[in-house]
Amino acid sequence: MGIIYYDLNVILALTDSLVYNGLFAAIAISLWYPVRYNNPEGKISFRAMSTYLILGLLILPAWLYLGYFILKILFPGNDEYFRFLNDSFFVRVILGMLYFIASVLFYHLLVYYKALEEKRLNETKLNLLVRESELNVIRSQMNPHFLFNSLNSISSLTISNPDRAREMIIKLSDFLRYALKYGQQDKTSFAEELKNIELYMDIEKIRFGEKLVFEKNIANVCLQAKLPNMILQPLIENAIKHGVYESTDHIIVNLSCKDSGSFIEISLRNNFDPEYKSRTGAGVGLKNVENRLRLIYNREGLLKIKKENNLFEVILKIPQNK
């Protein structure tokens, strides 16, 4: 093709580049929206590619024509320049395509990076919560009040009823073993959790005698259902703490579970002494459970609290993928 020189002044050249590049800058900025909302994860899919192809086919001619139009207004009758404009048409098309691809790619990277960052943050939060609840679980299993009072009961039973003392030691050991085993973030079966809760309740029953009544009403389907490790333990402890520890009357703790299609619904109810003046609202333990559920299942409203008269109820909805 050879090199062709055009006799153009600096002002003209600057204006030309300003108009075309400026126009594209404006287009590039508005490109953010299709990229951002087309795929929030920042991955390049076939669908996204075809969207960009169509977008490019629309935008490039518009860009070229608009530039041409503006320059035509700015420099009417400058034939030399318009000859240059016509000759460089092909170069401008290529340039426009490069601009277009570069901006789309840049935005994709940005979106992808942001999504990654968010995901990482979520994961960190989840890890932190799980670790926290692990710690809480271990601490509550080693809950000094629970542990030392149980040991004191055992000490008393060694005199009055050695067989029961031995039984209690074994239960306490099994319970502590479960606590030590716990440490993974996995889910476990409801049946497994239930076994642990029964151990805990048996120990508390030895301490509190008839004051504590544990009832359960578990649909068979629930036993195989998966739920996050140790998600029920804080609720049980809460019921014991505010029910049994603070009352002189019988406290009935009722654990029930039913199948509700895409999730299981677990309810833990306990009555409490109406004279016990507790502060309203959820305690730290319940809040932790709620946070954990939200982060694991990425859904709101999986934990509900009801408090009427002297009945306290916590309802958990655990999603199940079948």
Using CB under 8 A, which of 76, 77, 209, 261 touches other proteins? 209
Kindly state whether residue 167 participates in binding other proteins, applying the rule CB under 8 A: no
Which residue's CB is nearer to other proteins, number 31 or number 157? 157
* Residue 76 found at the interface with other proteins (CB under 8 A): no
Of the candidates 1, 37, 248, 322, which one interacts with other proteins according to CB under 8 A?
Answer: 248
Stretch that binds other proteins, among 12-20, 67-75, 151-159, 178-186 (CB under 8 A): 151-159
Q: What are the backbone angles phi and psi of residue 303, rounded to the nearest 5°?
A: -125, 130
Verify binding: residue 151, other proteins, rule CB under 8 A. Answer: yes
What distance separates the 2 farthest-apart alpha carbons in the chain? Answer: 115
- Which residue, 117, 133, 121, is CA-closest to 293? 133
Burial class (CB in 10 A: 0-12, 13-18, 19+), 274: exposed
**Distance of alpha carbon 134 from alpha carbon 260, whole angstroms:** 28
Who contacts 193 (Cβ-Cβ below 8 Å, separation ≥6)? 227, 229, 230, 231, 232, 233
Q: Of 47-55, 100-108, 119-127, 244-252, which part binds other proteins (CB under 8 A)?
A: 244-252
Nearer to other proteins, 166 or 195 (CB): 166
CB 168, min distance to other proteins, A = 10
Q: Between vectors from CA 239 to CA 187 and to CA 177, what angle results, nearest 5°?
A: 45
Q: Which is nearer to other proteins, 45 or 156 (CB)?
A: 156
Would you tell me which residues interact with other proteins (CB under 8 A)?
A: 144-145, 147-149, 151-157, 159-160, 206-209, 245-248, 273, 275-280
